[in-house]
Amino acid sequence: MRSAGEIARDVREGASSAGRELEIALSAIRARNDELNVFLYVDEAGARLAAQRVDEAVARGERTGPLAGVPVALKDNLCQRGIPTTCSSRILEGWRPPYNATVIDRLVAAGAVPVGKTNLDEFAMGSSTETSAFGPTRNPLDPTRVPGGSSGGSAAAVAADMTPLALGSDTGGSIRQPAALCGIVGVKPTYGLVSRYGLIAFASSLDQIGPLSRSVADAALLLEVIAGHDPRDSTSLPEPAPSLRDHLDDGVVGRRIGVVRELIDGADPEVVASVDRAAEVLRAAGAELVPLSIPELRLGLSAYYLIAPAEASSNLARFDGVRYGLRVDADDVAAMNEATRTAGFGAEVKRRIMLGTYALSAGYYDAYYGQALKVRTQMIEAFRRAYREVDLLLGATTPTVAFPFGSKTANPMSMYLSDVFTIPTNLAGEAAISVPFGVGEGGLPVGVQLLGPGRSEARLLAAGRVLELAEGRP
Amino acid sequence: MTLPDGWEMVVGLEVHTELKTRTKMFCGCRNEFGAPPNTHVCPVCLGLPGSLPVLNERAVELAMAIGLALHCTIAPSTFHRKNYFYPDMPKDFQISQYDRPINANGYLDLIDHSRVGIERAHLEEDTGKSTHLGGSGRLHGADRSLVDYNRSGVPLVEIVSAPDIRSSAQARAYASELRAILIATGASDGRMEEGSMRVDANVSVRRAGQPYGTRCEIKNLNSLRSLQRAIDYEAERQVALVESGEVVRQETRHWDEARGVTATMRVKEEADDYRYFREPDLVDLAPDASWVQRVRSGLGPLPAERRAALLARVGEVSEAQRDAVATVIDAGRDEVVRGAIDRGVDPALALARAANELESEGPAVSVDAFAETLLMEQRGELSATQSKAVLAALAQEGGDPHAIAAQRGFERLSSNSLGATLDEVIDQHPDEWRRYRDGDDKLAQFFVGLVMKATRGQADGKAVIAELAARRG
Tens of pLDDT, residues B366-386: 999 999 999 988 887 887 778
- Could you tell me how many CB contacts below 8 A there are between chain A and chain B? 103
Instruction: Report d(CA B116, CA B201) in Å as an integer.
Output: 14
Residue B186 and residue B316 in one domain: no
Residues β-bridged to residue B23: B30
Q: Please return the burial class of A461, using the count of CB atoms within 10 Å of its CB with bins 0-12, 13-18 and 19+.
A: buried
Contact residues, A window 341-400, toward B, CB-based 8 Å cutoff:
357, 360-362, 365, 369
Lowest mean pLDDT among B234-238, B286-290, B415-419: B415-419
Distance of residue A360 Cα from the nearest chain B Cα, in angstroms: 5
Nearest of B177, B179, B181, B226 to residue B200 by alpha carbon: B226
Residue B145 and residue B213 in one domain: yes
Distance of residue A368 Cα from the nearest chain B Cα, in angstroms: 12
Residue B321 and residue B400 in one domain: yes
Give SS3 for B160: strand
Predicted confidence at residue B419, as pLDDT, reads 77
Query: Has residue B396 been placed in a domain?
Result: yes
| pLDDT band with cut points at 50, 70 and 90 for residue B141 | low
Residues β-bridged to residue A448: A396, A435
Predicted confidence at residue A6, as pLDDT, reads 97
Query: What average pLDDT is seen over chain B?
Result: 91
Q: What are the phi and psi torsion angles at B100 (to 5°)?
A: -130, 80
Contact residues, B window 264-293, toward A, CB-based 8 Å cutoff:
271, 273, 275-277, 280-283
- pLDDT of chain A along its 474 residues, tens only? 899 999 999 999 999 999 999 999 999 999 999 999 999 999 999 999 999 999 999 999 999 999 999 999 999 999 999 999 999 999 999 999 999 999 999 999 999 999 999 999 999 999 999 999 999 999 999 999 999 999 999 999 999 999 999 999 999 999 999 999 999 999 999 999 999 999 999 999 999 999 999 999 999 999 999 999 999 999 999 999 999 999 999 999 999 999 999 999 999 999 999 999 999 999 999 999 999 999 999 999 999 999 999 999 999 999 999 999 999 999 888 999 999 999 999 999 999 999 999 999 999 999 999 999 999 999 999 999 999 999 999 999 999 999 999 999 999 889 999 999 999 999 999 999 999 999 999 999 999 999 999 999 999 999 999 999 999 886
For B37-57, the pLDDT digits (tens) are 999 999 999 999 999 999 999
Instruction: Report d(CA A173, CA B129) in Å as an integer.
Output: 40
Query: Has residue B88 been placed in a domain?
Result: yes
All residues at 6 or more sequence positions from B379 whose CB lies less than 8 Å from its CB, including other chains: none
pLDDT at B412 over 60: no
B chain contacts of residue A79, beta-carbon cutoff 8 Å: 48-50
Shortest CA distance from B276: residue in chain A: A360
Catalytic residue among A3, A16, A17, A75: A75
Convert B167-203 to b/e letters by CB count within 10 Å (16 or more is b). Answer: bbebbbbbbbbbbbbbbbbbbbbbebeeebbbbbbbb
Residue B129 and residue B265 in one domain: yes
> Where do the domains of chain A lie?
4-244
Query: Has residue B305 been placed in a domain?
Result: yes
All residues at 6 or more sequence positions from A16 whose CB lies less than 8 Å from its CB, including other chains: A7, A10, A69
A chain contacts of residue B27, beta-carbon cutoff 8 Å: none
Examine the residue annotation and report whether A350 is marked as an active-site residue of this protein: no
Instruction: Report d(CA A156, CA A177) in Å as an integer.
Output: 12
Query: Has residue B444 been placed in a domain?
Result: yes
CB A359 within 8 A of CB A365: yes
Query: Has residue B2 been placed in a domain?
Result: no
Lowest mean pLDDT among A57-61, A120-124, B112-116, B462-466: B462-466
Query: How far apart are the two ends of chain B, measured CA to CA in Å?
Result: 73
Instruction: Report d(CA A13, CA B246) in Å as an integer.
Output: 88
Query: How far apart are the two ends of chain A, measured CA to CA in Å?
Result: 11
Prior bond of A150 cis (ω within 30°): yes
Lowest mean pLDDT among A219-228, A464-473, B160-169, B316-325: B316-325
CB A382 within 8 A of CB A250: no
Instruction: Report d(CA A166, CA A170) in Å as an integer.
Output: 13
Predicted confidence at residue A15, as pLDDT, reads 97
H or E stretch covering B197: strand B197-207
Domain containing residue B348: 301-407
All residues at 6 or more sequence positions from A47 whose CB lies less than 8 Å from its CB, including other chains: A22, A26, A71, A113, A114, A115, A116
Examine the residue annotation and report whether A117 is marked as an active-site residue of this protein: no
Residue B383 and residue B427 in one domain: no
Candidates B47, B53, B273; nearest CB to A234? B53
Tell which of B253, B278, B294 closes a domain: B294
**Strand extents, DSSP E, A101-243:** 113-118, 165-169, 185-188, 209-213
Question: Interhelix angle for A44-59 vs A4-13, to 10°?
Answer: 50
| pLDDT band with cut points at 50, 70 and 90 for residue B470 | confident
Q: Please return the burial class of B402, using the count of CB atoms within 10 Å of its CB with bins 0-12, 13-18 and 19+.
A: middle
B280–A205 CB contact, under 8 Å: yes
3-state percent breakdown (helix, strand, coil) of chain A, nearest 5: 45, 15, 40
Residue B82 and residue B220 in one domain: yes
Query: Has residue B41 been placed in a domain?
Result: yes
Query: Has residue B1 been placed in a domain?
Result: no
Residue B124 and residue B210 in one domain: yes
Residue B183 and residue B323 in one domain: no
Catalytic residue among A3, A16, A89, A174: A174
All residues at 6 or more sequence positions from A221 whose CB lies less than 8 Å from its CB, including other chains: A4, A5, A8, A66, A67, A165, A213, A244, A245
Domain A4-244 belongs to what architecture? Alpha-Beta Complex (3.90)
